[in-house]
Amino acid sequence: MLRSTSLRSTDLLAGVAVAAVGIPTGLAYAELAGFPPVVGLYASILPLIAYAIVGSSPQLIVGPDAATCALVAAALEPLASGDPQRYLDLSITLSILVGAFCVAGGLLRLGVIANFLSRPVLVGFLNGMALTIVSGQLGKLCGFAVRTDTGFFLRIADFIWKLPQTHLPTLIVGVVTLVLISVMGRLVPRLPSALVGVCGGIAMMAVLDSEKWAVPTLGAVPGGFLRPHLPAYFISDSLRLLPDAAGIALICFCSSMLAAKSFAVRNKYEVAADREFIALGLANVVSGLSNGFAIAGADSRTATNDISGGRSQVSGLTAALVMALVLTACTGPLSYIPTASLGAVLVLAGASLFDFQTVWKIRDISRSEFALSLIATLGVATIGVLPGIALSVMLSLALLIRRASSPYDAILGQVPGVDGFTDISEHPNALTISGLLVYRFDAALLFFNTDYFKKRVRDVLALSDHSLRLFVFDMEAINVIDTAGLDAIEEIRSDLAAKGIAFTVARAKNEIRNKLIRSGLWDRIGAMNFHPSVRSAVQSGLNQALEVARVAKSTRVLSEGNTS
């Protein structure tokens, strides 16, 4: 619900600043998604009100987003067959479906799904989107059309091939807009630089001879809202769009949570993931019903809100009110916006998505994750947004399974002067106890790594001396076990018993102990062979060894006495 907060002038001013940025970016993003520019305003106003009422972040601004718009275009273009009305109807259906998936995710408490896309994959996705968006707008800056049905490299080749067709006046308007946005954004961060750039483009069209320059503009922008409606083929279209809607919902939520969390950390407040899921879902449903398209949390407008002093949902509501006033009463000046200026807005928006610094940091940390990020980038940029992401997620899961199937393990020993037991590979001066082996397996014990577990235990046993009498299995790192894991432990226990080696368990968690009891392993191992710590397991083993030695000595002495 809307947080109770005192009405502050900074929130009102921040809302005006957000609207100033939201209007030109909404118009530009609508074109990126394949819609008439005014549809970008439909997707910017009422959804923002819905989010402000339900969302947990006091600062997040939802609306058209560069990455989401590219996803929408990729999903709808193959189905619309060039029919604008059909395209809009499909968009309404898609937006409502995305919203339904998000609401369901929130109600089912699936907010943790924000961690489903690993950081390297998400960075790679955004970098791929940056290449896709920028390459798709270069032709608009130069005054000619570039193919949008091809991958990044073919699109760049098409752009270079058509460079001789460059319309110089259009290029000048586009470059001037680029410079204005870049310079004003650096010199006066609080100023809505996108609006300044677009106004600069309008000024150039007003001052210069528009007929001589022949620079394309938006043309008439219809005012007011359209009547909400469901498309005639809503049910059948929903079935076709289900996979796309699920993918877009996942991407929208993950990117929105990144933005929401980053500003929450900066300003020291908390956001609730499940509530954010529901709020984003309702905003998307409202966007569809108001003839808009799928939306997400917009980091650039949220940054504008933060810089301008917005600290409550009042700023979002103010932004929605200002944009609604423009849409209903002041669309005339919008018709003079050069399309090259909107192209410049999108080029800079796309470029801002590219995060080279993080990619290089990932490279320094993990070469495999670096490769995964590059594959995500190239996949999105070449074979398409959703296929590229699907490929990256599958590779990410494959990498996770590969790591989980052959996890780290260790033999534990004691370091002189240090309390407890530690990995002997990390401490060359660590000592093991003769006749006793402490082994730790650092992962869940599941069907896909049980063979590896058994192999590692047997390898370790093969390297141990022949005096081994006790095997201590440290289960502290095992938090999940299945029937295959239980069978593997029983197999190892039986092998050890056949060799006269006792099997002892240390630090098994309650859930694991319960499964051991239900499977009968608890009784076969023996309740006295379960210990709360490695130290107690080792001490128990040493005590048993001393007792065996004492009994053996007593027996030997008695035998010698009887002989004499």
Give the domain ranges of the chain. 11-219+233-400, 409-563
Structure-block tokens of residue 77 = 């273009």
Q: What is the pLDDT of residue 137?
A: 84
Mean predicted confidence (pLDDT) in 472-484:
94
The residue among 306 and 292 whose pLDDT is bigger is: 292
pLDDT band at 235 (very low <50, low <70, confident <90, very high): very high
The percent of residues above 70 in pLDDT, for the chain, comes to 93
* pLDDT tens-digit readout, 15-48: 888 898 889 889 989 988 999 999 999 999 999 9
> Measured at the alpha carbon of residue 543, what is the angle toward residues 541 and 549, in degrees to the nearest 5?
105
Through-space distance between the first and last CA atoms of the chain, rounded to whole angstroms? 94
> Is the sign of the CA dihedral 182, 187, 191, 197 positive or negative?
negative
* Residue 385 pLDDT > 50: yes
Q: What is the pLDDT of residue 239?
A: 95
CA–CA distance, 320 with 99 (Å, rounded to integer): 20
Q: Which of 159-163, 185-189, 295-299, 359-363 has the lowest mean pLDDT?
A: 185-189
Determine the number of helices (DSSP H) and then strands (DSSP E) in the chain.
23, 8
Classify the phi-psi angles of 63: left when phi > 0, otherwise alpha if psi is within -120 to 50, otherwise beta.
left
CA–CA distance, 266 with 260 (Å, rounded to integer): 10
* Residue 498 pLDDT > 60: yes
The residue among 564 and 104 whose pLDDT is bigger is: 104
140 CB-near residues (< 8 Å, 6+ apart): 146, 174, 339, 340, 342, 343, 346
* Cα atoms in the 13 Å half-sphere on the side-chain side of 358: 15
409-563 is a CATH 3.30.750.24 domain: yes
pTM for the full predicted model: 0.73
CA–CA distance, 373 with 142 (Å, rounded to integer): 31
